[in-house]
Amino acid sequence: MKLVLIGAPAAGKGTQAARLVEHYGIAHISTGDMLREEVAKGTELGLQAKEIMAAGGLVSDELIIAIVKERIQKDDCKNGFILDGFPRTVVQAEKLDEMVSLDKVVYINAPDAVMLERLTARQICPNCGASYNKIFLPPKKAGICDQCGTALTQRKDDTEEAGLKRLRTFHEQSEPLVDFYTKKGILFEVDGTAAIDAITQEIIKGLDA
Ligand code: AMP
């Protein structure tokens, strides 16, 4: 199964992707995670992406397309994959079309105010990548990862200022993808304000239909 998850920042793409990869036994490809790894390692690519990401902009189509092209050829993608955070522009979607035939695209939709509230309360584990939310999905012990005991941190782009910019970027550059994939007849929408479990069930129902 080859899937794409579309949604504004903090719509729950990463959370749902983690559940879907377990359910379907397919690979999780998060371009945001891949870029953050490059930033942490201080590679040339990371240096190029760092400022753009912190400011809530998009790295170049060319760069991200090259990364994804290489990634989907890896062994763990043989059974399929979920793309989380790619494509984010119509140019990226057109290039992806040339690379693979997608089965479905899931659009997790929620109002900006909800996204902004969620993203400023988000905490991530710098060690294992687990994601929490001080309001909606708190760790058992405040500020500590349930899975590996590491102190949680906030993403540099999860501030209100960068969050607003990311929401604007989403509406301008990524929202046209909803139309793009609707015309192809492979998109379905779920309500991103529902409970996490309910959204997972809704997505699985849509995918298995
Ligand atoms: P995410 O973790 O998906 O919210 O991505 C974090 C940041 O990485 C985004 O705000 C962008 O700066 C960058 N990024 C991730 N995926 C892409 C993409 N497909 N195209 C351009 N920039 C991206």
Compute the Cα dihedral for 55, 190, 63, 68 and give only its sign: positive
- What pLDDT shows up at residue 11? 95
| Assigned token pair, 20 | 């879907």
- Cα 156 off chain centre by: 16
Q: What is the tens place of the pLDDT at every residue in 123-166? A: 999 998 888 999 888 999 999 999 999 999 999 899 999 999 99
Instruction: Give the burial string for 151-185 (b: 16+ CB within 10 Å, else e).
Output: ebeebebbeeebbebbbebbeebbeebbebbeeee
Residue 69 burial (10 A CB sphere; 0-12, 13-18, 19+): middle
- What pLDDT shows up at residue 209? 86
Q: Where are the domains of the chain?
A: 2-208
- What pLDDT shows up at residue 177? 98
Q: Rounded to the nearest whole angstrom, what is the distance from the C-alpha of residue 53 to the centroid of ligand 1?
A: 7
Ligand 1 binding pocket, CB closer than 6 Å? 9, 31-32, 35, 52-53, 56-59, 64, 85-88, 92, 157, 166
**CATH architecture assignment, domain 2-208:** 3-Layer(aba) Sandwich (3.40)
- What pLDDT shows up at residue 4? 98
Cβ atoms of 119 and 126 closer than 8 Å: no
pLDDT above 70: percentage of residues in the chain: 100
- What pLDDT shows up at residue 20? 96
- Check if 36 is active-site: no
* Parts of the chain with a pLDDT under 50: none
- What pLDDT shows up at residue 135? 87
Q: Which helix (H) or strand (E) holds 28?
A: strand 27-30
pLDDT above 90: percentage of residues in the chain: 93
- What pLDDT shows up at residue 136? 84
Catalytic annotation, pick one of 13, 19, 36, 118: 13
